[in-house]
Structure 1
Amino acid sequence: MRNYILGIWDGHDAGAALVAGESIPFAVNEERLTRRKLEAGFPLLSIKACLAYAGIAPSDITEIAASTADTAKTLTRIFPSLKEEYYLIRRRKKGPGRFDGLKKRFKYRFTEYGPNSISRYLSRLYFDKKLSEMGFCNYNLHLPDHHLCHANTAARCSGFDECLVITLDGLGDGLSGSVWIYRNGRLRPVNKIPAKVSMGVFFEHVTNLLNMRELEDEGKVMALANYAFPVDDSANPLLIMIKCDGLSFVSGYSSTGMFKEMKKIFWRYPPEQFACMAQRTVEKITAELVQNAVAQTGMKRLALAGGLFSNIKLNKRLGELPEVEKVSVFPHMGDGGLAIGAALEANYHKSGISNCGLSDLYLGPGYSEKEILDCLIREKASFEKISNPAKKAADLILNNEIILWFQGRMEAGPRALGNRSILARADDRRLKDRLNLALKKRVWYQPFCPSMLAEDAKELLCTEKLGTDNNPYMTMAYSVRHDRIKAMEGVVNLDGTCRPHFVGDENPRYRELLGHIKMKTGYGVVLNTSFNIHGDPVVCSPGDALDTFYRTDARYLFMEDFLVENKTR
């Protein structure tokens, strides 16, 4: 029997993961199983899914790692109602109350404190109780720090033998970021960035001021920024809110003071201009920190993790810095990836295993033909079994149909990569409005992304500086070649960039589909967006897929070798 290490994260976007030797055989986030977007709390269903995948009992696990034991996180473990209330308010499921302003000040002040002996002790008691209730026993429990877990995912999954590692997010365990050197399998800390000045919190404030949901809609802010004319840095008042000082950030404001000052600025500008100035601030100040870190360490290969690096325009900016040779962004860069990071850290300390290569991200649950067929019969769906799903799907796409595509194991992380996807032609701009209004039901300015054959990337994109090997999973923006924009009109942003998924041999059926597209259009590229309605988690099970299918205007759903058709469309 393989020796598995179980990783756990019970905060925002909770989840669990298994690490075994040099591989990550399974990872899933709780939202996919409870069907509550970015679920928070003890990931009971995720842990059960890990055990079911491995075919083991709780008593077979001897090493468990759970991330983050700071004071605030420990308090929400002891009083889970606090976590639930924050979840409902943040997701706009609950209206504002009289004391929300006071709660916000309390939240930012309290979460700036790091872990201590008491918080670690109480967190350990909490996990021991929860785990014993599930039948776990005789295990070693590790409590690695928040940013150490992020650093593990960045470094150990980068493919680099040595590199500079930078983590940046809102905050966790008293920090908003960290800088490390990864060499000979070891992570050596260079600097820790205190939580009291956080680039992630800065962008959270921007998201809130634009009446969007923090920790969820930051991508909308980045997209909205494309619709403004850039202003000169001398005319950007947000640049004085937060600055780079060596390997840290500094500000003349507390977290709540920064929000108040930014609120005054917000009312003087249109929303898209405010978003543009904020995006420029994030890119400029973070780039300065990276340049300083490269100069101080001499390391030119960069591995990144933490929620701030979900910002693909920032990642592009960093990858194009002349000081930087290569960049790898861990594809599950936000807190949802902490369970993987915790398990990797425990794996290194237990076995000395330093690298866990990611051959693909299809790490979630998969379903047998019988399970899918039973679901189709139970739901009285109209379906048929077909001999060549990839060709049939490609033909429908070429005929301007939008298809729902459910294949193999679910992806880990926030991006659909051809197993839980909605697919359409990439060269038809009109499909964007149809997708937004009839299927995804999201704001008009959010762009869609392409999946493309890896070998076609150099023909379609400007890849000379960024390359394609280190970031195949939609973690980086790329400029589209001017003479290829027409072939990608449905997936090109207003600024001429896109967020591509490069498809290699890891997904044979998806490659086959793209190959059929290439035979007709000259390029193996499709529009690929996640299989969900906006605000819902990506579908996981056959039942989830059917439920979402019937709630949209889509006509065709492919589930392995079965084609489901809604003939009322």
Structure 2
Amino acid sequence: MFILGIWDGHDSGVTLLKDDEVLFSINEERLSRRKLDISFPEKSIEYSLNYLGLKKEDISVIAVSTTEFAKTLWRMFPFLKENYYLIRRKKKGYSSFNAFKKKLKYKITELQLDPLSKWISRLIIKNKLKQLGFKNFKLVIYDHHLCHAISSAFISGFDKALVITIDGIGDALSGTISKLENGKLERIKAISGKNSFGIFFEHVTNLMNMRELEDEGKVMALANYALPIEDDKNPLLDFFTIDGLDVKAKYSSLKTYNELKKILWVYPSEQFAYMAQRTLEIKITELVRNAVKETGFKKICLTGGTCSNIKVNMLIKNLPEVEDVYVFSHMGDGGLSMGSAMFANYELNGISEYDFKDVYLGPKFSNDYIKAVLEKDKSGNISYEYIEDIEKKVAKLFFEENIVLWFQGEMEYGPRSLGNRSILAPPHSEEIKNALNLIQKKRVWYQPFCPSMLLDDAKEILEDLKGTPNAYMTMGYMVKKEKQKLVKGVINIDGSCRPQIITDYNSKFARLLLEYKKLSGVGILLNTSFNLHGEPLICSPEDALNTFSRTPAKYLVLENYLVTKK
């Protein structure tokens, strides 16, 4: 039985399952080239089926998430969704009428679910799927936070764990706490959308003239440059109260925005960012501690957009009462297609465990395909050669302090580049880091880069490897002080980093790190996403060449082909 999971909201996409295997997952942005695309994922559906050699009649079940009134309204009137997308990404001016619509958005997303809204969503989605050529299929629609929870719980490898979802809002909730035991998920707490950590941090991001749902990581990064203040002098800590498993916001969403605006004018931007970040850290860790105490469950699964905050995740991991933490790699709404497909599989087939080895779930391109693409290039600006032992050659380029654009294997699922669609560089150079930020990626100066490292090196340089080594760059770690000079290009000013820790040494990327270690003494590289700022991660060799042509980088690797600018 083939099951197709669909998400048609922020960062839309699809997942295809069969039995206990995830066959393919992709987000619409990778094909449309519109970052965090919100369109119905028609391109993703067609691409996935074609890639796997399937026909629409092969799909038995289609699973979708979220039927709140706001989502149903967007499905009825797609232009409203498009307008919001343009405003949120600052592609369209922010008029007073748009301000009114923003207020209305927070009001309607907090509305409780109703059967009529779900019925209308079902009708619209079913008609859309029939228009695309699907005929004999079962359509199932699931709760937003249930899909978040399932996607983390069922691939965590934990038999018994707390599953915590935290985001802005979805189906009138901003979070849930559930118990996972023997393949079954039991929700023990739902956090109302009126008490949202995610919307609080969205407001902070917006007020700092950044893009909500996209630039929260910049707020976290900027917070590192603030002069810390005592917690009892942080006015933002009063915005939330934690009582057991209850989360209570002091103000409504709209009042929160206005109160934050008043405080912003009193403090420097980095101080404001620090106070907001510290608020999340204190309040969320308090909630987790209470949940562990109440249930006795000491392993934690985290998911939902707010769980992209690696500093909060690090503090949760380091709690003495917590044994291990799993953070789903695609924790934001872009991962909902996987959650909906997995829950359909559980309901219909009883499957709650998956043969989930990694997140390389997108398309792969052969050397023959790449050669054909290179032969079509008529610019005269590049040369290329096939190199059998490509890892050894590229390791030497890194040892000579070069930046290399690296394209290998299946594309990553989720927001992080994990060695298949990556821009790579030596980890020790602040000069290279600054050049990457300001010239290549065109990002703000304070935004850090991440390291990819072999497990053996992680044991040498990281302070605390408690629990399962994090493979997806979803967890913060502190770097030992005496080792920081080795990785100056990939650590924050406070000595922390967000690593990809590689435990399987058989992949081409692992072999590259091993070859570099022979030359440099460390199996660590700076790894950032293969894209320009504001664009999605590249998908195809054509995307790679296009991006390569617009950067100062001299070297591009496409599978076994080394491409060099003349």
* 1:346 Cα deviation from its structure 2 partner: 0.4
- Counterpart-to-counterpart distance in 2, 1:153 and 1:346: 12
Once the two structures are superposed, the pairs formed by residues 35-54 of structure 1 within 5 Å of their partners are: 35-54=33-52
Aligned to 1:486: 485
Q: Does 1:304 align with 2:305?
A: no
1:387: how far off? 2.1
**Residues 110-189 of structure 1 aligned to structure 2 (within 5 Å):** 110-189=108-187
Q: Tell me the equivalent position of 1:407.
A: 408
8 Å CA contact retained: 1:429, 1:490? yes
**Aligned counterpart, 1:426:** 427
Partners of 1:162 and 1:64 lie apart in 2 by 29
CA distance in 1, matches of 2:400, 2:562: 16
One-letter identity of the residue aligned with 2:413: A
For residue 207 of structure 1, what is the aligned residue in structure 2? 205
CA distance, structure 2, for counterparts of residue 488 and residue 358 of structure 1: 31
Secondary structure, counterpart of 1:99 in structure 2: helix
Q: Which amino acid aligns with 1:57?
A: K
Q: How far did 1:32 drift?
A: 0.4
Residue 59 of structure 2: aligned partner: 61
Q: Which residue of 2 aligns with 1:416?
A: 417
- Provide the C-alpha distance between the structure 2 equivalents of 1:475 and 1:143, rounded to a whole number of angstroms: 28
Q: Which moved more, 1:119-128 or 1:74-83?
A: 119-128
In the alignment, which residue of structure 2 is the partner of 1:519? 518
Q: Which residue of 2 aligns with 1:281?
A: 279
Distance change in 2, residues 1:507/1:449 (3 Å): farther
Q: 2 CA distance for matches of 1:236 and 1:56?
A: 56
Q: Distance in 2 between matches of 1:420 and 1:504?
A: 19
Q: Deviations over 1:180-214 (max 9, x none)?
A: 00111111010111101100000001101110000
Instruction: Kindly indicate whether the alpha-carbon contact (under 8 Å) linking 1:158 and 1:357 is maintained by their aligned counterparts in 2.
Output: no
Provide closer, same or farther for how the CA distance between residues 138 and 562 of structure 1 changes in structure 2, counting only shifts above 3 A: same
Pairwise CA distance, 1:507: 5.7
1:279-328 Cα offsets, whole Å, 9 max, x none, are 00001000111111111111111001000010000000111111111111
Q: Deviations over 1:95-121 (max 9, x none)?
A: 111212211210101001233211111
Correspondence 1:16 to 2:14: yes
Q: TM-score, normalised by structure 2?
A: 0.98
* Correspondences of 1:321-336 after superposition (within 5 Å): 321-336=319-334
Asked whether the equivalents of residues 17 and 26 of structure 1 are also in contact (C-alpha less than 8 Å), the reply is yes
Deviations, residues 260-285 of structure 1 (Å, cap 9, x unaligned) = 01100000000000000000000100
- Count of paired positions: 563
Larger mean CA deviation between 130-139 and 211-220 belongs to 130-139
What stretches of structure 1 of length at least 5 have no aligned partner?
A: none
Give, in angstroms, the shift of residue 444 of structure 1: 0.3
Give the partner amino acid of 1:449: C
Give the letter for the 1:508 counterpart.
S
Q: Secondary structure at the match of 1:196?
A: helix
Cα distance change, pair 181–468 in 1 and its aligned pair in 2 (3 A): closer
Alpha-carbon RMSD: 1.1
Measure, in 1, the Cα distance between the counterparts of 2:522 and 2:178. 40
**TM-fit CA distance, 1:359:** 0.6
Conserved? CA contact 2:324–2:468, under 8 Å: no
Query: In 2, distance between residues paired with 1:268 and 1:59?
Result: 60
Q: Which amino acid aligns with 2:503?
A: G
Preserved CA contact (<8 Å) 1:159 1:357: no
Equivalent residues of 2:396, 2:519 under 8 A apart:
no
Residues 198 and 329 (structure 1), Cα distance of their counterparts in 2 relative to 1, 3 Å cut: same
- 1:237-248 equivalent positions in 2, closer than 5 A: 237-248=235-246
Q: How far apart are residue 506 of structure 1 and its match?
A: 6.9
> After superposition, what is the alpha-carbon deviation per residue over 1:112-141, rounded to whole angstroms, capped at 9, x for unaligned?
123321111111111111111121111111
Q: Secondary structure at the match of 1:39?
A: coil
Q: Name the % identity.
A: 54
Please state whether the residue corresponding to 1:92 is helix, strand or coil.
coil
Q: Is 2:446 the partner of 1:445?
A: yes
C-alpha distance in 1, partners of 2:27/2:506? Answer: 22
Structure 2 residue aligned with 1:71? 69
Equivalent residue, structure 2, for 1:398: 399
Q: Give 3-state SS (helix, strand or coil) of 1:193's partner.
A: strand
User: d(CA) in 1 for partners of 2:10 and 2:432?
Assistant: 33
Aligned counterpart, 1:359: 357
Q: Report the equivalent of 2:549.
A: 550
CA distance in 2, matches of 1:137, 1:515: 50
Shift of 1:357: 4.1
1: distance between equivalents of 2:388 and 2:182?
49
Question: Which digits, 9 at most, give the CA deviation of each residue in 1:387-419, with x for residues without a partner?
Answer: 211111111011010000001110000000100
Query: What is the correspondence of 1:379-394 to structure 2 with a 5 Å cutoff?
Result: 379-380=377-378, 381-394=382-395
* Counterpart residue type for residue 483 of structure 1: E
Asked whether the equivalents of residues 449 and 527 of structure 1 are also in contact (C-alpha less than 8 Å), the reply is: yes
Find the aligned partners of 2:438 and 2:299 in 1 and give their Cα distance: 42
Residues of 2 paired with 1:426 and 1:493: CA distance? 13
Task: Verify the 8 A CA contact 1:185 1:354 in the aligned structure 2.
Answer: yes
Q: Distance in 2 between matches of 1:145 and 1:47?
A: 21
3-state SS of 1:367 partner: coil
Q: Mean alpha-carbon deviation: is it higher for 30-39 or for 455-464?
A: 455-464
Q: Provide structure 2 residue ranges, at least 5 long, that are not aligned to the other structure.
A: none
Distance of 2:506 and 2:171 partners within structure 1: 38
User: 1:245, CA displacement in angstroms?
Assistant: 2.5
Q: CA deviation at 1:490?
A: 0.7
1:130-179 alpha-carbon deviations (Å, 9 max, x no partner): 11112111111110100000000111011101101100000000100001
CA distance in 2, matches of 1:53, 1:378: 23
Moved runs in structure 1, 4+ residues, more than 4 A?
Answer: none
Counterpart of 2:188 in structure 1 is 190
8 Å CA contact retained: 1:361, 1:412 = yes
In the alignment, the residues of structure 1 paired with residue 542 and residue 210 of structure 2 have an alpha-carbon distance, to the nearest angstrom, of 30
Question: Are the counterparts in 2 of residues 457 and 463 from structure 1 also a CA contact under 8 Å?
Answer: no
TM-score with structure 1 setting the length? 0.97
Number of the residue aligned with 1:467: 467
Deviation, structure 1 residue 249: 1.6
- Quick one: distance in 2 between partners of 1:47 and 1:5? 12
CA distance in structure 2 between the partners assigned to 1:365 and 1:243 by the alignment: 45
Distance in structure 2 (CA, Å) of the matches to 1:234 and 1:168:
25
The residue type equivalent to 1:46 in the other structure is: S
Is the contact made by 2:429 and 2:489 (CA closer than 8 Å) also made in structure 1? yes
CA distance in 2, matches of 1:123, 1:507: 45
Worse-matched range after superposition: 249-258 or 264-273: 249-258
Deviations 1:212-265 (A, max 9, x none): 000000000000000001111111001111222221321231100010011000
1:227 alignment partner, SS class: coil
Residue 495 of structure 2: aligned partner = 496
1:345 is displaced (CA, Å) by: 0.4
Q: Which amino acid aligns with 2:179?
A: I
